[in-house]
Chains A and B, each alone.
Chain A
Amino acid sequence: MTGQAWFTLALFVAVLLALSFPLAIYMARIGDAAATGYIPIKGFAGKFERLIYRVSGINIAEDMAWTRYALAVLLFNALGVLVVYLLQRVQLWLPLNPQGMANVSPDSAFNTAVSFATNTNWQAYSGESTMSYFTQMAALAVQNFFSAATGIAVAFALIRGFARRSAQGIGNFWVDLTRSTLYILLPLSLLLSVIFMSQGAIQNFDAYKTATTLESLTYENPKVDAAGQPLKDAKGNPITETLTTHTQTLAMGPVASQEAIKMLGTNGGGFFNANSAHPYENPTPLTNFVQMLSIFLIPAALCFVFGRMVSDTRQGWAVLSAMTVIFVFMAVVAIAAEQQGNPILTHLGVDQSHTAMQAGGNMEGKESRFGIVASALFATITTGASCGAVNAAHDSFTPLGGLVPMWLIQLGEVVFGGVGSGLYGMLIFAIMAVFIAGLMIGRTPEYIGKKIESFEMKMTSIVILVTPFLALVGTAVAAMTEQGRLGIANPGAHGFSEILYAVSSAANNNGSAFAGLSANTPFYNSLLAVVMWFGRYAFIVPVLAIAGSLAKKKRIEATAGTLPTHGPLFVAMLVGTVVLVGALTYVPALALGPVIEQLQMLAAQ
């Protein structure tokens, strides 16, 4: 680790804490207000909010039981999937399509619709060659807001479960959804869009521009059929033709506005295929830093919101501390692995040291504008959160460097995690940690004054098991079937890593990918859609059930026998629970992929 790496990491954590704390005070006001039925913001915004409820027929005084809350979540998101699917299938006949983009194929549209509604933003397509501006805005960006707002709403509901005493309801989903969008995501996105535009991110509806290049270029161009769909061979790979050109097409579009919510909502779906490695999405080192901050901003703030809403800020600090400990450790491993470079090249006499004249380390797959530190840190952040935006090719990281993002995804996206989902995922681990502690000392476990009993533990078990089940069974299905293996570009352990990463990313709603897997096939589009849907909602439903169950309970006062859940001991227990559950679940699969790759690399010196 260089001094610059330590400085960047320390600066990031310091600025994150400084920004997330005041945001949390504001967000807690929104979350508290949603429980009491009044409009928290006065003036035009408040009037607009009332208008939304009046037009939609929503009764803001209704306090929903968890089953009704879950039904509203599922209904709203299923309708969102249907709308996004439909818009992609008819985009050719809709406005704002200056490039005349064809209708998206059914399997790709299905995958993308589920992907964006579930906050995964797995992209089997290339944005600039597939989606019209209308689809990008009215379908994808809208879901960027709503999927993030759904996450915040569920987090609010779970916090209320802890905060309320002998209550039947956990809040009103429609109110939580509206307020999270209107008062949190929209203003922050507007601010962030302006910052990105000031740095050079584009925002227009122009047709693509053509620039004349200094040299002619020979390249492979994907062939399309009469309907504009890409032609593929028997293996599912695109059929290409060799062309020579001395012009370059510069894709345009309303990028800055989509970029803001892509990061803030931990969505991660890029306007362009290159995502945050594209200079129109991420123009400068400053925007790169701001993008990293904006991924963690709301998840970090929600930890403080939790503390404030349960009237014990120390509880929020404890959860935040556990997240930060894991994050810093994983960032150090990733940065160090990438800065160390490939020992095989060192053995061959290549100087990979960091000097004033060269970056050193493993520069393969890195955005040269940002270098190793900003790339490895970005990779750690985007996979610790369920964002999935990328500014480097995770596939090109060293085996150990690539293991870090993959394992962070597999931990369940709780290291800050997704907007809302990070907090409710970590609180589930906290319930597990107090349960284990209760077993050790022979007392009924308690957390935030609520007894954790058999029903909560059954629901916790479902939450803990559902994503590993989907990720590991999905990987096995892909590895064992001909259709799954056809998508692998790299043979051996790395090919397995590509499948494991893809299905883990889908199950945990991250959305980033190891390149090299041809996933835009009906097989992968369907498999990953199933995994994404159940990875999201089969997780949310038991979380809401826990919220409902806890809300009904009395809050008991701490006694001498109560395990304190705000001190370093509990933070260590929470970190241990997250790491052990993650390790025990995934190590056998990781041993077949990145661990073998690391051993092969060391053996080849």
Chain B
Amino acid sequence: MDFVYTAAIIAFFVLTLGLVAGCAKLERKR
């Protein structure tokens, strides 16, 4: 289970980075 939860934490981080990238893209588009 440790592997699953560690992977989940990394996935949280990556998904939120995706939000940063999405917001940055929106900013460039305006």
Contacts and interface: CB of A to CB of B under 8 A. Distances in A.
A113 B2 contact: no
A85 B6 contact: yes
Interface in A520-551: 526, 529-530, 533-534, 537-538, 541-542, 545, 548-549
Contacts of A82: 6, 9
Contacts of A167: none
B13 A541 contact: no
Interface in A85-119: 85, 89, 106-107, 109-110, 113-114
Contacts of A89: 2
Interface string A265-290: 00000000000000000000000000
Given A81-B9, A541-B19, A67 B24 contact: yes
B2 A541 contact: no
B22 to A, nearest CB: 9
A106 B20 CA distance: 29
A78 B20 contact: no
Interface residues of A, number: 34
A529 B4 CA distance: 14
A545 B23 contact: yes
Contacts of B26: 455, 458-459
A583 interface: no
A339 B19 CA distance: 46
Given A110-B8, A533-B12, A545-B24, A453 B30 contact: yes
Interface in B1-25: 1-2, 4-6, 8-10, 12-13, 15-17, 19-20, 23-24
A549 B23 CA distance: 11
A459 B26 CA distance: 9
A453 B9 CA distance: 35
A10 interface: no
B23 A106 contact: no
A18 interface: no
Contacts of A110: 5, 8-9
A389 interface: no
Rank and list the top 3 A-B pairs by shortest CB-CB distance, nearest first.
A106-B1, A78-B13, A110-B5
Interface of B: 1-2, 4-6, 8-10, 12-13, 15-17, 19-20, 23-24, 26-27, 30
Given A74-B17, A548-B27, 8 more contacts: A85-B5, A454-B30, A529-B8, A533-B16, A538-B19, A541-B19, A541-B23, A542-B23
26 contacts: A67-B20, A74-B16, A74-B17, A75-B13, A78-B10, A78-B12, A82-B6, A85-B6, A109-B5, A113-B9, A114-B12, A453-B30, A454-B30, A455-B26, A459-B23, A459-B26, A537-B12, A537-B19, A538-B19, A541-B16, A541-B19, A542-B19, A542-B23, A545-B24, A545-B27, A548-B27
